[in-house]
Amino acid sequence: MGILFIKTLVLVTCFVELFSCHHPGISLGGKEPRSQKTNFIIILADDIGWGDLGSNWGKRKDTPNLDKMAMEGMRFVDFHSAASTCSPSRASLLTGRLGLRNGVTHNFAATSVGGLPLNETTLAEVLKKAGYLTAAIGKWHLGHNGLHHPSFRGFDYYFGIPYSHDMGCTDTPGYNLPPCPACPRHSTTTSSHPRECHSEVALPLFENLTIIQQPVNLTSMATKYADKATQSVQRGHPFFLYLALAHMHVPLVMTEPPCNLSCQDPYGANLRQMDALVGQIKAEVDSIARENTFLWFT
């Protein structure tokens, strides 16, 4: 996914820059451009199914905003993620290199001290050098200690959870998954417990380098992500926003009160929440920078 995506960004950027140079004062929307550089927004959904989108299957009606985007924009129906797991897919998206080349082939744990190798160049680093304001919001999962933190990987602003929201306890009842029992005690002569055994850690919410909430309240995360995303778009131009959603990764949080036992649909409720979040961001972008913003949902 990363290689095709980087090539697409390069082609789009070159086209817009060429168009602006040969036709000063003219934009694709016919108005005076706010910036001669294209703004970029990448929205990455986590664990979403192909059939979850109405534009793909037609049997679900939970994603009207995304379906409208698919109808008005360009669809890539044979577009593949570089990996089926969290960290490798994100590493490839941000570097344009497969896991065997960038060194990320497995998920990082809450106890991991490493992350995306520091000699890898991220898309954010490239765009930041080109004068872009860069922001990452949501799930990072590419290392959170030291220089592996997103604040040191090209992002001017970061707000989100450093790994998956099922990797530690939260303050949402019933969502302490997976269970992390205390490590068993052993004598100094026999140490046979698994190396990955660790005590349960409360899930942290970061804003830049500061933990602002621990444990995390999952029921309010979508609203916070939407607010921070719209604020990052308003900060200035040109901008690059990388929004890595928690949807549709488990645990699913019931944000809509069930009307009765027969119509409980936590998956559908989370799909609608995700769709509304994307719709809110698109509406904000359309109001301030529609003529020169490239919005990608994958």
Residues catalogued as catalytic: 86, 141
Query: Cα–Cα–Cα angle for 159, 164, 168, nearest 5°?
Result: 100
- Tell me the CA distances in angstroms from 160 to 25, 66, 157, 208, one per residue in order: 38, 23, 10, 9
Q: Taking each helix axis as running N to C, give the angle between helix 64-72 and helix 266-289, from 0 to 180 degrees, rounded to the nearest 10.
A: 50
Burial class (CB in 10 A: 0-12, 13-18, 19+), 30: exposed
Tokens representing 101 are 């080349």
Distances (CA, A) of 26 to 29, 31, 33, 34, 56: 8, 6, 7, 11, 35
